[in-house]
Amino acid sequence: MRVLFICNQARHRSPTAAKLFSDKYETKYAGLYNEPSVTQKELDWADVIAVMEDEQRIEISKRFPKTYLTKQIVTLHISDMYAAGSPELIKALQQKADLLEPLAP
């Protein structure tokens, strides 16, 4: 399964998640408010899109409405308060791992 992790800037949460889950899934990460931001090609690549907060889900629906309707998108509910690779962020992501499991083909 290919999982695209998305957060605001692709500096802390999504790169940490992509690395953490790379042993189980094929992973990539992207941001919504950085340059360059997430592309249609990255969204097309993914089987599942994992966003950190609901506001990112809403932003994807605005920027890519057709894709939004056809992709599995899961919100992990990880707020932007962690440093990249921090033990606290890793623990928070591990606690959300079960949200990805039912989506596996």
Rounded distance, CA 103 to CA 83, Å?
27
The pLDDT tens digits for 40-73 are 999 999 999 999 999 999 999 999 999 999 999 9
Return the SS3 of 103.
Answer: helix
Domains of the chain and CATH, by start: 2-97 (3.40.50.2300)
What tens digit of pLDDT does each residue of 66-98 get?
999 999 999 999 999 999 999 999 999 999 999
For the whole model, what pTM was predicted?
0.94
Closest CA to 73 of 99, 94, 36, 95: 99
